[in-house]
């Protein structure tokens, strides 16, 4: 929840008048003649938004290596500690300090995103691993889309509301730090360190009792899985890794970041009151959270390829609809009529619904990454995801200023390419276990069967 909150809180904060004044954007909007598409284009603002995601990107691979050397629990605690320190600095009304605080917070988020899922998967019995992994995803979405949007709405009209928004991440980080400090280390770490006695002790703490047969299997599995960091790059894992990496690129380049992050700013710029814009942003966040949960249920009940194609079709239709409304309404030089603004907002909601269904790691595959490739594979895919998020955060405003409404058309074309990719290269994996993937999924595909 801390990571999701830190990553998503910025969009609402930057829609507040006080924070816009701090960056000089509000004054430019009031006294400088510019188009609606360029109202929020400011290099300092773009850099402030992007620096957290870039810091997260930079910290992911080092945190993975450190988790091997010093243990999972230590790195998780360091992550929450950095998030706490960064949130404290983010409450100080000084631009250099705000940048430093956001970068430190990004380092903490990178540690949390990379190591915490690994710790959860290693410290729980196998039958609960998928359940807790889905709860981690739900917690991330809850913090990022529900808590963040709700807090922004509650403090938007207060003086120095941006400080409250940033400061709450420190409260969440402090609570999480205290909790993680009391948890036992992962038994896998001690097995990697060839310390089986401490591994047995940690295993007993995480399971409640020592089951000799299960522990022996864990030792054998750990030696096989973690004997090399290069398992994900073997030919047999290339289908998983290639699709997982391309998926992250598609999911970040199809416009969801721009729509979610800049919704309060966009709605304010079309003449909607500040309070109403934050209510709409909160609605987008709640919709995403609910649809992500429903999407997880639907992809397990129905065929994944059917759900993927249905969702991408909804996304394509709504993006082309938004492009048409922007084009016909001449948004470049004038505000929308109320009915047009409502239509654009509704199209955004349907777009979010389609995106949320397929955005989860199990939206494309029942097995996102096999156990042997999970550690390094997740580090690589998360790095790619955060890299493209930071890119989108920095270039969204200037590209919108240059391309105007055509940026929405570009997003729509990206989704068309994504649907083509899904139809061509993503096999159906419903009701297929990890052991059966080679035979029933990759082995039946005309391209991927060459890797098996």
Residue 267: per-residue pLDDT: 65
What pLDDT, on a 0 to 100 scale, did the predictor assign at position 95? Answer: 87
Residue 193 lies in a domain: no
> How distant, in Å, are the alpha carbons of 23, 117, 260, 376 from that of 44?
7, 33, 20, 34
- C-alpha span between 290 and 282 (Å, rounded): 12
How many residues comprise the chain? 452
In a domain, 216, yes or no: no
Range of the domain at 151: 2-183+228-451
Q: Which two tokens stand for residue 91?
A: 């409450």
Structure tokens at 281: 């942003």
How far apart, in whole angstroms, are the C-alpha atoms of residue 218 and residue 195? 13
Is residue 10 in a domain? yes
pLDDT at 173: 92
C-alpha to C-alpha distance for 304 and 41, rounded to whole angstroms: 39
Cβ atoms of 318 and 411 within 8 Å: the answer is no
Domain membership of residue 331 (yes or no) is yes
Residue 236 in domain:
yes
Q: Which helix (H) or strand (E) holds 426?
A: none
**Measured on CA atoms in the order 3, 103, 398, 147, is the torsion positive or negative?**
positive
- Whether residue 214 is contained in a domain is answered as no
- CATH number of the domain where residue 306 is located: 1.20.1250.20
CA distance 16 to 14: 5
Round to whole Å and give the CA distance between 12 and 3.
16
The three state secondary structure string of 299-347 is: HHHCCHHHHHHHHHHHHHHHHHHHHHHHHHCCCCCCCCCHHHHHHHHHH
* pLDDT tens for the chain, residues 1 to 452: 888 888 888 777 776 777 777 776 666 666 555 566 676 677 888 888 889 999 999 999 999 889 888 988 999 999 999 999 999 998 888 889 989 999 999 999 999 998 988 888 887 776 777 777 778 888 888 888 888 888 888 887 777 778 888 888 889 999 999 998 888 888 888 887 888 788 888 877 777 666 666 677 777 666 655 555 666 677 778 888 888 888 888 888 888 877 776 666 666 655 566 667 777 778 888 888 888 888 877 777 777 788 888 889 999 999 999 888 888 876 555 556 667 777 887 888 899 888 888 886 566 766 667 766 777 778 888 899 899 988 888 888 788 778 878 888 999 999 999 999 988 888 877 777 777 777 777 888 888 887 77
pTM of the model: 0.88
Can you give the pLDDT at residue 446? Answer: 83
Closest CA to 161 of 20, 65, 33, 349: 20
Nearest to 123 by CA among 51, 69, 203, 55: 203
Task: Report the domain count for the chain.
Answer: 1
Model pLDDT, residue 367: 65
The answer to whether residues 245 and 365 touch, using CB atoms and an 8 Å cutoff, is: no
């Amino acid at each position: 929840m801390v990571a999701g909150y830190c990553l998503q809180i910025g969009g609402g904060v930057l829609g507040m008048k006080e924070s816009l004044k701090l960056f000089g954007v509000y004054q430019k909007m009031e006294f400088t003649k510019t188009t609606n598409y360029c109202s929020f284009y400011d290099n300092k603002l773009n850099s402030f938004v992007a620096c957290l995601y870039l810091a997260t990107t930079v910290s992911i691979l080092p945190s993975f290596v450190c988790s091997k050397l010093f243990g999972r629990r230590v790195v998780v605690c360091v992550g929450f500690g950095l998030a706490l320190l960064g949130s404290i600095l983010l409450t100080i009304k000084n631009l250099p300090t705000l940048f430093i605080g956001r970068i430190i917070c990004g380092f903490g988020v990178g540690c949390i995103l990379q190591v915490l899922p690994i710790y959860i998967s290693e410290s729980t019995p196998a039958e609960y691993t998928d359940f807790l992994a889905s709860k981690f995803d739900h917690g991330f979405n809850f913090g990022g889309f529900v808590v963040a949007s709700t807090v922004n709405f509650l403090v938007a009209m207060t003086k120095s509301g941006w400080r409250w928004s940033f400061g709450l991440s420190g409260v969440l980080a402090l609570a999480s730090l205290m909790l993680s400090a009391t948890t036992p280390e992962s038994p896998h770490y001690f097995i990697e360190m060839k310390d089986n006695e401490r591994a047995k002790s940690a295993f007993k703490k995480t399971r409640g009792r020592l089951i000799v047969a299960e522990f022996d299997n864990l030792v054998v599995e750990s030696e096989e899985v973690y004997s090399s960091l290069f398992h994900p790059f073997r030919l047999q894992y290339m289908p998983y890794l290639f699709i997982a990496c391309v998926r992250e690129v598609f999911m970040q380049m199809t416009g969801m970041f721009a729509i979610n992050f800049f919704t309060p700013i966009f709605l304010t710029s079309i003449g909607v009151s500040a309070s109403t814009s934050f209510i709409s942003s909160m609605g987008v966040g709640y919709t995403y959270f609910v649809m992500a949960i429903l999407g997880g249920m639907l992809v397990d009940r129905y065929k994944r390829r059917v759900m993927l194609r249905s969702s991408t079709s909804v996304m394509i239709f709504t993006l082309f609809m938004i492009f048409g409304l922007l084009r016909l309404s001449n948004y470049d030089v004038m505000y929308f009529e109320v009915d047009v603004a409502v239509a654009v907002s509704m199209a955004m909601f349907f777009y979010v619904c389609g995106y949320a269904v397929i955005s989860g790691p199990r939206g494309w595959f029942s097995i996102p990454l096999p156990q042997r490739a999970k550690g390094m594979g997740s580090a690589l895919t998360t790095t790619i995801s955060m890299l493209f998020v930071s890119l989108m955060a920095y270039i969204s405003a200037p590209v919108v200023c240059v391309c105007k409404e055509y940026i929405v058309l570009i997003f729509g074309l990206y989704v068309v390419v994504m649907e083509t990719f899904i139809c061509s290269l993503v096999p159906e994996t419903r009701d297929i276990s990890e052991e059966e993937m080679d035979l029933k999924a990759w082995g039946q595909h005309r391209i991927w069967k060459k890797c098996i």
